[in-house]
Amino acid sequence: MKHIFIINPAAGKGKAESMIQPEIEKAVKDRAVDYEIIVTKSSDNAKEICRSLAQSGEQIRMYVCGGDGTVCDVVNAIYGYENVELAIIPLGSGNDFVRFFGEKEEFCDIESQLDGTPIKIDAISCGDYIAINQCSMGFDAEVCIKQSKFKKMPIFTGETAYMAALFNCLFAKKSSHLKITIDDKDVYEGEFMFAYCGNGRFYGGGFQPGPYALPDDGYLDFSIIKNMNIPRFLSKVGEYKNGEHYTWPETTYLRGKKMKVEALKDSAVNIDGECVVAKECTFEIIENAFNFVIPKTSKYIEDRKSGKINNKIG
């Protein structure tokens, strides 16, 4: 197997290359593995390189060295290629997908990644896009757009950028009228803050909109939150961050295979932190979509087998 390290030099406030490349070179030379380090020039360049490598048919473990945006680029480039294993070395400000599987330090440990075990994980289809973590439409997608702007400022981390964006949007935007259909049968229509679809549990630098989602159970978790006034929402931000919003009377938390969201006008859509605009979106589970590498030091595999990590709600 060949080990390919895809480095986004813009990640980590522009320090990704200097941060990780020396560690990669030391680890691979100590192991005498077949490897290549590729520093990308742009988002499109990353997609082009990764797609070309995947199409070669060679057995590859591809290490994405960057943030959530880089992961999104690579995921969309390699989807459908069984010869590729996906490993993530989190160097961004959010790193939300890997939070669920272990500490950031475990994923940044190159030797632990080289010795890691691939597992099958699900993904989400959204039109022409593929996501592995989450998709949403409504208020929080508007926050996502603002967050991307705040994250470029040196004073903000992933979480603080999300908080700044959240409060910025909270005082600028009202609820959206949405029609939400789950699995082609259950319909919810009215004024909502947002509709969230999760394969993973975290977004926004540590918020938990899908606190019981599992990326390998064949289901998506949905959080549908009705409109609420600003004082009440402000009093509940901490609960939302901790994933306790499923108990709110405004929240419908359920599990299924597909969510269709229809808005009255063009609205922001959040796809693993990348934002597009649409009036209608369908988010649907893709089972066993990727071979995802769990670092050797992570306890996820044994905790999943023992039932310590499960999808029981409440």
Average per-residue pLDDT in the chain?
A: 92
Both 10 and 67 in one domain: the answer is yes
In the predicted model, what is the mean pLDDT of residues 80-98? Answer: 93
The answer to whether residue 311 sits within a structural domain is: no
pLDDT number for residue 144: 73
Tell me: the pLDDT tens digits for 177-215?
999 999 999 999 999 989 999 999 998 888 999 999 999
Q: What is the 3-state secondary structure (H, E, C) of 82-135?
A: CCEEEEEEECCCCCHHHHCCCCHHHHHCHHHHHCCEEEEEEEEEECCEEECCEE
Both 33 and 51 in one domain: the answer is yes
Both 67 and 90 in one domain: the answer is yes
**What residues does 285 pair with on adjacent strands?**
124
Both 24 and 91 in one domain: the answer is yes
The answer to whether residue 206 sits within a structural domain is: yes
pLDDT number for residue 156: 67
pLDDT band at 283 (very low <50, low <70, confident <90, very high): very high
Amino acid, single-letter form, for residue 13: K
The percentage of the chain sitting over the pLDDT mark of 90, rounded to a whole number, equals: 74
Both 135 and 96 in one domain: the answer is no
In the predicted model, what is the mean pLDDT of residues 18-33? Answer: 92
Distance, CA of 72 to CA of 200 (rounded, Å): 14
pLDDT number for residue 138: 85
Both 250 and 180 in one domain: the answer is yes
The answer to whether residue 252 sits within a structural domain is: yes
The answer to whether residue 178 sits within a structural domain is: yes
The boundaries of the domain holding residue 161 are: 131-287
pLDDT number for residue 18: 86
More confident residue, 260 or 274: 260
Residue 21 in 3-state DSSP?
helix
Query: Are residues 124 and 290 in contact, defined by beta-carbon separation less than 8 angstroms?
Result: no
In the predicted model, what is the mean pLDDT of residues 261-283? Answer: 92
Both 74 and 7 in one domain: the answer is yes
pLDDT number for residue 154: 67
pLDDT number for residue 158: 61
Domain count within the chain: 2
DSSP string, 24-49: HHHHHHHHT--EEEEE-SSHHHHHHH
Residue 247 in 3-state DSSP?
helix
DSSP H/E element including 69: helix 68-78
Distance, CA of 144 to CA of 150 (rounded, Å): 10
Q: Which of 172, 97, 91 is nearest to 131 (CA)?
A: 97
User: Per mean pLDDT, which range of 26-35, 58-67, 107-116, 121-130 is the poorest?
Assistant: 26-35
Q: Which of 129, 76, 73, 65 is nearest to 98 (CA)?
A: 65
pLDDT number for residue 160: 77
Both 161 and 79 in one domain: the answer is no
In the predicted structure, residue 174 carries a pLDDT above the cut 80: no
In the predicted structure, residue 157 carries a pLDDT above the cut 70: no
- By residue count, the chain amounts to 314
DSSP 166: H
| CATH code: domain of residue 53 | 3.40.50.10330
Distance, CA of 94 to CA of 101 (rounded, Å): 14
User: Per mean pLDDT, which range of 13-17, 210-214, 218-222 is the poorest?
Assistant: 13-17
Both 144 and 84 in one domain: the answer is no
Both 116 and 190 in one domain: the answer is no
pLDDT band at 13 (very low <50, low <70, confident <90, very high): confident
Query: Are residues 39 and 17 in contact, defined by beta-carbon separation less than 8 angstroms?
Result: yes
